[in-house]
Amino acid sequence: MEATWKIIEDWLAAKAPQLTKALNPGASQEALDKLEAMIGTKLPADFTAFYKVHNGQDRDQDWLLDGEELLSIERIMEEWEVWNDLLPTFKDDDGKPYTSKPEAGIKNDWFNPLWIPVTYNGGGDHICIDLDPAPGGKVGQMIRLWHDDADRHIEAASFTEWISDFTTGLQKGEYVYSKDWGAIINKEEAAL
């Protein structure tokens, strides 16, 4: 994961040097252990390796990952707690739990405590690591979670694939820093 971070760091240095200060120092093993204890399971090795280099980003800086905040371990725990605390309220008027309309391989939960937020778009939506997939899915797949929409889809088969897709996009020139958006975004969105 150090090579992956090097791509991100080099891109920032060349295209948005002011954002290099947004990168947090690496996550401690203690912080990763605390997150695992909170969620009750082990995190994927590729995720922990990535976070040991940089613990996401400073929440008060412009966003680094395709128009979203790359959550630190502390922010992951905050967002997970918000969703977990709201879980009992996701019910219709008859008291039945809300269900989502997921892509194959994702459970039809509105939220699942083993969906671990990794990004945040400021509106309650996340890309999550799915540690409890439906049959046909893969533990560690990356899924999109909307707070007000039943759609749930797979972004990538693993954390490595997901972050590699982003860094490949950086290298191909598919992303730009937008001062207006306060984020690194897909250049097609920036043109709108």
SS3 of residue 152 by DSSP: strand
Q: Give the per-residue pLDDT at 192.
A: 66
Mean pLDDT of 27-35: 97
Q: Please, what sign has the CA dihedral across residues 68, 73, 76, 82?
A: negative
Q: Is 129 a residue whose pLDDT tops 90?
A: yes
CATH topology of domain 2-190: SMI1/KNR4-like (3.40.1580)
Residue whose structure tokens are 């401690």 = 28
All structural domains of the chain with their residue ranges: 2-190
Q: Give the per-residue pLDDT at 49.
A: 97
Could you report the per-residue pLDDT of 83-103, keeping only the tens digit for each? 999 888 888 889 898 889 999
For Cα atoms 154, 25, 77, give the angle at the middle one, nearest 5 degrees. 50
Instruction: Report percent pLDDT > 90 for the chain.
Output: 84
Query: How far apart are alpha carbons 90 and 39 in whole angstroms?
Result: 19
Q: Is 191 a residue whose pLDDT tops 80?
A: no
Instruction: Report percent pLDDT > 70 for the chain.
Output: 98
* Lowest pLDDT segment from 6-10, 110-114, 188-192: 188-192
Mean predicted lDDT score pLDDT of the chain: 94
Mean pLDDT of 13-34: 95
Mean pLDDT of 141-150: 94
CB atoms within 10 A of CB 188: 10
SS3 of residue 136 by DSSP: coil
- With bands split at pLDDT 50, 70 and 90, how would you rate the model's confidence at 165? very high
